[in-house]
Structure 1
Amino acid sequence: MSKQIVTVCLPPCGPDGLRPALAAAMAPFEYDAQIGKPDDEWQGEWDYWYVASGGKEFTVRPGGEDDPLIVRDGLDEDRPPRPRSLCDGGPKALLDLDTGRFAAAREAADAWDAWQAFASTFPPSLPYAHFARMPEARAVEAFEAQPVIRAVRLDPGREERFGFDPVAWFGEDRPDFAARAAADVLPTFALLTVDGRWVEGSSHAHHVRFNAYLDGLPDDTVLVRVLYHS
């Protein structure tokens, strides 16, 4: 059993209607519930839930911080007080879905540029996967014997920035690498669509579909982060 976050997408509703709308949307996925589920092996997705972002807060558009339609439940576990610019949900029109994605793309592009500039001063290197058929100790030794990898290992700050296997990590071209970083910002493990589909995943393909779905929703759609125990 574990806790995950689902982003619930709801038709337009006011503050008084939010709880009933969330309860109705989540109800078919209650653990062991058989609401419209003829399969006796159906187990459901949750045994309890509450509004919380688990570190995946939405950003409020400037000027909307005190709008009564913004959702802030304050039930995140072991987290310090949040700035008013962050929230658990609200109408899409009040949420800034773009700034975080743009910032992630810029940061990724800068890291890609830094790696290319650094790596260009060394002989070409191979990713760790190239050595993976060797016994592990020998594979690590051969991988880290490459001059550029050795140089990364000798500088903790550089290793923190570029990672264990920068040859593989920065293997995509610059636009794809930046797009991948941007796609990771909004998605949660699960998505509950307006029409009642529960979709799970952690792959890049899932993240791309998640972003496309949210981007295509009307501005009055209510988006809410919900922590559930499964």
Structure 2
Amino acid sequence: MGEWDYWFVSGAGYAFAVLPGHEDDPRLVRHDEWTERPEELPRSRCHGGPRGLLDLDTDRAEVGREAARRWDDWRRFADRHTGPESVLRAIAKDPELEERFTHDPYNWFGRDREAYIAERVADVLPTPAMLTLAGRWVEYGGPGYRQWFNAYLQDLPADTMVVRVLYHS
């Protein structure tokens, strides 16, 4: 709605993976101004760079594998109990189970394994807002935003600079 008071190049803990073999490319952005002690990034991570040098798939694949394991663990756990009430009582008694499966696992995991995995994967790259090449400011607005964000980022020309910033307005 307004203008930015200030902004910083920073991944705020969400750095991009670098496409293997391009870790030393001088066009990669590794400059965190937000913290007093700049974040030390491994060569395989950066705050931005040309879209073609960013590995957008590695982090998504890792999250997808973990989501699949978690969903499978959930199904095995739920199948060992007789009915939803039994499952929820078991989870309520054990903080580790609640941390692993949430207090509302039937809603969180849903019925479909692939849909659950796709939801987790869709969350990996999106930030709360994006400034498009056309100058349009797009803010998070539900499930459609994540799909739009991922498709927009994936479809950018390889030489387009993509940089994560923290801003204040």
2:17 counterpart of 1:52 = no
Q: How does 1:80-159 map to 2 (within 5 A)?
A: 80-125=39-84, 146-159=85-98
Seq. identity, %: 52
- Give the Cα separation in 2 of the matches to 1:105 and 1:202: 23
CA root-mean-square deviation: 1.6
Q: Which amino acid aligns with 2:96?
A: G
Alignment check: 8 A CA contact 2:20 2:44 kept: yes
Runs of 4+ in 1 over 3 A off after TM superposition: none
CA 1:52 to 1:180, structure 2 compared with 1: closer, same or farther past 3 Å? Answer: same
**1:66 and 2:17 matched:** no
Q: Which has the larger radius of gyration?
A: 1
Decide whether the 8 Å contact of 1:53 with 1:76 is kept in 2.
no
* Amino acid aligned to 2:41: R
For structure 1, list consecutive stretches of 5 or more residues without a partner in the other structure: 1-42, 126-145
Query: Equivalents in 1 of 2:106, 2:3: separation in Å?
Result: 38
Alpha-carbon deviation of 1:172?
4.2
Please report the TM-score for the alignment, with normalisation by the length of structure 1.
Answer: 0.69
Q: Deviations over 1:172-206 (max 9, x none)?
A: 41111100100000000111111111100152221
Distance 1:63 1:76, change over 3 A: farther
Q: Deviation per CA, 1:95-146, whole angstroms, max 9, x where unpaired?
A: 1000111111111111111111110122232xxxxxxxxxxxxxxxxxxxx2
Match of 1:176 in 2: 115
